[in-house]
Amino acid sequence: MATGRTHRPATRSRGIPEATVARLPLYLRALTALSERSVPTVSSEELAAAAGVNSAKLRKDFSYLGSYGTRGVGYDVEYLVYQISRELGLTQDWPVVIVGIGNLGAALANYGGFASRGFRVAALIDADPSMAGKPVAGIPVQHTDDLEKIIDDNGVSIGVIATPAGAAQQVCERLVAAGVTSILNFAPTVLSVPDGVDVRKVDLSIELQILAFHEQRKAGEEAEAQAGAVLEAEAAAAAAKETGKGPDGDVPAVMPA
């Protein structure tokens, strides 16, 4: 189990590094903005600045796609937009279903960037019968019972899970069984899926925790001006604070070696 290895026939597909793939949408966005301003060409330096990366990285990234630039000149904006779109598979239409139409699901359904680029919200699905038929973002919500039929009728291969954590794995399994092979998971839980299914997760709480870590570190550096090496001694004392969960007030402070 676990995410395991990547058995894959090994072959096919140009070997575009995952990190590069993750940046292509960024470049595409910057290029689209240039295109709208009718800018004909752009240098790696300029485009990199607009996308928030450095130019060497950008050139390396593009080199995986092919030689789409002109030395001494730069890149043709329109041409690059097309090439990247094609590489990302955005020249085709991707019907998407959103499962779980709570606050977040509704926000996603209303999200403009959705439709703008290749993606089309094919259906909204929720387990609450009282939601059925109610339009959200102009699309009537359908009941979970019909999930399989909806997936099938619309040829959906990408699903978005915006349900509570408790329902996510079950919804995931039904989506996969119905033929979905890519899932964007907003529920704060680890989904387990069979080989060949892609899952990406977006987790607000995790992002905030990462920020908190750095924030704390900044504060610590300031204090370093005077205080010397701080040992873990205070940890035990502080452990008696709250970690607050459950009826018991205080939390253990087990000391290992």
Task: Please tell me whether residue 144 binds DNA under the rule CB under 7 A.
Answer: no
20 contacts which partner out of DNA, a second copy, none, CB within 5 to 8 A by kind?
Answer: DNA
Task: Please tell me whether residue 83 binds DNA under the rule CB under 7 A.
Answer: no
DSSP designation for 28: H
- Chain residues 38-77 in contact with DNA, contact rule CB under 7 A: 42-45, 53-57, 59-60, 62-63, 67-75
Q: Residue 30: which of 47, 44, 18 has the closest Cα?
A: 47
Least spacing, CB of residue 219 vs DNA, in Å? 22
43 contacts which partner out of DNA, a second copy, none, CB within 5 to 8 A by kind?
Answer: DNA
Are 158 and 150 contacting, i.e. CB atoms less than 8 angstroms apart? no
Task: Please tell me whether residue 35 binds DNA under the rule CB under 7 A.
Answer: no
Task: Please tell me whether residue 201 binds DNA under the rule CB under 7 A.
Answer: no
Q: Residue 82: which of 157, 14, 27, 13 has the closest Cα?
A: 27
Q: Of 17 and 133, which CB lies nearer to DNA in the complex structure?
A: 17
56 contacts which partner out of DNA, a second copy, none, CB within 5 to 8 A by kind?
Answer: DNA
Q: Of 130 and 194, which CB lies nearer to a second copy in the complex structure?
A: 194
Length of the chain: 257
d(CA 84, CA 29): 10
234 contacts which partner out of DNA, a second copy, none, CB within 5 to 8 A by kind?
Answer: none
DSSP designation for 146: G
- Contacts of residue 148, defined as CB under 8 A and 6 or more positions apart, other chains included, come to 174, 177, 178
Choices 13-21, 130-138, 144-152, 189-197; region in contact with DNA by CB under 7 A = 13-21
Least spacing, CB of residue 211 vs a second copy, in Å? 4
Q: To which H or E segment does residue 169 belong?
A: helix 165-177
Least spacing, CB of residue 201 vs DNA, in Å? 14
**Max Cα distance, the chain (Å):** 70
- Contacts of residue 48, defined as CB under 8 A and 6 or more positions apart, other chains included, come to 54, 55, 57, 58
Least spacing, CB of residue 12 vs DNA, in Å? 15
d(CA 2, CA 193): 9
Chain residues in the site for DNA (CB under 7 A): 1, 17-20, 42-45, 53-57, 59-60, 62-63, 67-75, 245, 257
